[in-house]
Amino acid sequence: GTPNVNEASLNVGEDNTPSCISDLDGNLLFYSDVNLVFDQAGNEMPNGDLGLVKDHSIIIPAPSTNPNMYYLIRSNASTGLDYSVIDMSLNDGLGDIDAEQKEVSFGGNGGLLLSAIKADLSGYWLLVLDNENGYSDDLNITVYSVNNDGIEAVSELSEFYQWVGWYPELDDVAISNDCSLIAASFKGHYIALFRFDSEEGVVFDPINNSIDNNGSFFETTELAFSPNSELLYSVSDGNNLVQYDISSW
């Protein structure tokens, strides 16, 4: 019973990451092309035009004490991070953006976005991965706690990699289904791996030499973990699929 979505209303650049969220039965609640927010029928939400242009977005539910409240989190390498609060109890159940909590700036560098459920199931973590838009050999990961009253930074990790100079920006990032492993790919044919503590919100144990695709330099466009978190898949240049066994780290 998913309502029809007016796909024609989306205007997404090739480097943008739109986002959507459904209820527990899989019915669409709302979605965003990063800079506009639409209800389940494809109509722009009241207050749904976000003025400051961003590139990436992710939707994270507020902790369970606020079942109607969601965070639309957006990122841009130049203008950083912001969030807007969507209240699904408003606008006859179709949702509306809280005007007092719209495009709230937080954090430092923008980057690619991941979410992880907290180990005690009390809420969610937001993970932001960046390499200063390609101008740094450090891969930076900042972990934020998504709370009822905002988003708070809890830990940071910066790891140096001798990346090659092509494809300077992050290609893709992924987190495993059990929220214990993180993968990131950028600057050619390397994939970095990390462990994640979903109880404390801490990234640790990076593999310093990363995974090397053992071939000519190509852009890794997609990363995905297997359901059991023991395999990692990468797609490069649109048609190269590689499977890695990461069970022994």
Q: Spell out the per-residue pLDDT of the chain, length 249, in tens.
A: 334 444 434 445 556 788 999 988 999 999 999 999 999 999 999 889 998 888 899 999 998 777 899 999 999 888 899 999 999 999 999 999 988 899 999 977 788 999 999 999 889 999 999 887 767 778 899 999 998 888 999 999 988 776 555 556 778 899 999 999 999 986 656 788 999 999 999 999 887 556 655 555 566 678 999 999 999 998 877 678 889 898 887
Task: State how far the Cα of 240 lies from the Cα of 110, in Å rounded to an integer.
Answer: 29
Task: State how far the Cα of 125 lies from the Cα of 147, in Å rounded to an integer.
Answer: 9
| Number of C-beta neighbours around residue 115 at 10 A | 18
Task: State how far the Cα of 207 lies from the Cα of 183, in Å rounded to an integer.
Answer: 10
DSSP symbols for 5-53:
--GGG----TT-B-EEEE-TTS-EEEEE-SSEEEETTSPEEEEEE-SS-
| Alpha-carbon distances, residue 149 vs 58, 81, 104, 146, 213 (angstroms) | 18, 16, 12, 8, 43
| Number of C-beta neighbours around residue 80 at 10 A | 18
pTM of the model: 0.87
At 83-126, the pLDDT tens digits run 999 999 999 999 999 888 999 999 777 889 999 999 998 899 99
Residue that the structure tokens 């606008």 belong to: 91
Strand 44-49 with 36-39, pairing: antiparallel
